Amino acid sequence: MGFSELYVTDLKASRKFYVETLGFIEVKQVGNSLFLRGIEEFDEFSFILTEKPSAAYGCFGLRVSSKEYLTELKEWHDQMGIPNEYVAEGFYPGLGSCLKVV
């Protein structure tokens, strides 16, 4: 798994819980999204909290070994009818291309 995104209704309260209580490290905030990572993670971030009107699990992104495998994985998800979206490098700060499963 590359990252998970949660939709939250109160970003300030969510920051307090995930950073101060659970111990996630705040990496940056871009607009209404807060990017976090665990203590010993090597990726820039692995968790995104995005303020929205309703709380929900937004999506997750998969990390793979090559762009070719990413294409293969997308095709498999398409065949299985699993909603997904290819996300180009740069859409998420510090992250390469990924498959966003929604």
Query: What's the pLDDT tens digit per position in 19-46?
Result: 999 999 999 999 999 999 998 887 889 9
CATH number at 3-101 = 3.10.180.10
Which tokens belong to 23?
Answer: 């111990």
The segment with the largest mean pLDDT, out of 3-17, 51-65, 75-89, is: 3-17
Q: What is the DSSP string of the chain?
A: --EEEEEES-HHHHHIIIIIIS-PEEEEEETTEEEEE-TT--SS-SEEEEE-SS-EEEEEEE--S-HHHHHHHHHHHHHHT--EEEE-TTSSTT--SEEEE-
pTM of the model: 0.82
Q: What is the pLDDT of residues 82-99, one digit of tens each?
A: 999 888 888 887 778 888
